[in-house]
Amino acid sequence: MNQSTQYIIVGQGIGGTMVSYFLHKAGLDFIVIDPALPSNASRVAGGIINPVTGKKLAKSWRIDELQPFALKSYQEIGGLLGKELVLQTRVHRYHSNPEDATKFEEQAETQDWFDDYILPLQVNEPAINNTLGGFTISPALKIYGADLMDGWRDFLKQKGCFIQDSFEHTQLEVLPNSIRYKDIEAHKVIFCEGWGVQHNPWFKDLPFNAAKGEALVVKIEGLQPDEVYLKGVFLVPLGNGLYYIGSTNEWVFTDDYPSDHKREELERKLQKALNLPYKVLKHIAAVRPAVKNRRPLIGPHPQHSQLWLFNGLGTKGYSLSPFFANQLVTVLQGKGGLDVEVLLSESR
């Protein structure tokens, strides 16, 4: 039986989830196609929205806009699904070496935004090896990504607009003013495939760099709940004494499976940071598409206006997706434009 819809969304990681949410909120018709694999990059990520990142203690790009919008969006979806999807928290960051402490002092003297997000260390956590001091980043957010994506998928299934299947690019036919995929005809298709873009014949040649990340899920008894710790590695609360430990970043790799050497690296860092016993319950890995300038790539194909891309979220998917998915849907309704910094046409 033939179907018709306004939009087909390919992929239901955090990007596809947020694009479909804002299409739903706008009252537009769509179908999401995704194989619902447990190892996509959005599920392997820690789900932290951290306003101050990296060794250089850089303020995250546009975080003053992105973080409040993300909080509002995840709370709205949580209300719709009847789930708590976001934790308002803090990141307690400990210096790993004297150079870290020196860099912090230098930044504190020169960056006028420091007082907006940086506080003296706000917790006395004896379980964390604190020999050089540190500081607290606040506010920060923890997004429960698996609960979000599972809940949204169930919601879409109930609405009859989710197809659990791998997308076959060879089955997509570009028509003069629409597209056809198998028995579905739509106005446009929006590719939110993450690293699956490597198999996309229309967008695979964009300047993506693949980055493999690995993380552990461990059981730790005795840490103060609902706080995020960072000393060489993130310790992110998942509830019930479970913590996400990660993640690694690897630019040269041969597969997307968990590796022994990265598990050893993660455990070595965890042991340096933690003064408590722990038990490893899970070792996870995934590949994410990164872009050199760390900006998303969003927009239509230059020759086929029916084909759109929403990708390049890198390690910032949970902070970038709500704001720019909303912006994309506004553009599709003819009500605005995309920011020039994320325009696909600017990357070619």
pLDDT digits (tens, 9 = 90+) for 330-346: 999 999 899 999 998 76
User: Quick one: pLDDT at residue 244?
Assistant: 97
Residues of the chain with pLDDT under 50: none
pLDDT digits (tens, 9 = 90+) for 1-11: 579 999 999 99
User: Quick one: pLDDT at residue 346?
Assistant: 63
User: Quick one: pLDDT at residue 347?
Assistant: 60
Q: At what angle do helices 317-332 and 14-25 cross, to 10 degrees?
A: 40
Contact of 143 with 45, CB cutoff 8 Å:
no
CA proximity to 320, closest of 303, 339, 304, 334: 339
How many Å from the N-terminal Cα to the C-terminal Cα in the chain?
Answer: 39
**Neighbouring C-beta atoms of residue 62, cutoff 10 Å:** 16
CA proximity to 296, closest of 282, 315, 270: 315
Contact of 52 with 159, CB cutoff 8 Å:
no
What is the pTM (predicted TM-score) of this model?
0.96
Query: How many Å apart are CA 102 and CA 90, to the nearest integer?
Result: 22
Pick the CATH number of 209-291 from 3.30.70.2860, 3.30.70.380, 3.20.20.70, 3.30.9.10: 3.30.9.10
Tell me if residue 317 falls in helix, strand or coil.
Answer: helix
Residue 11 contacts by C-beta under 8 Å, 6 or more apart in sequence?
33, 34, 167, 191, 192, 193, 194, 196
Q: At what angle do helices 14-25 and 63-81 cross, to 10 degrees?
A: 70
Domain ranges of the chain: 3-43+147-207+293-346, 74-142, 209-291
Mean pLDDT of the chain: 94
CA atoms within 13 A on the CB side of 219: 4
- CATH superfamily for 3-43+147-207+293-346 is FAD/NAD(P)-binding domain (3.50.50.60)
pLDDT digits (tens, 9 = 90+) for 221-243: 999 889 999 999 999 999 999 99
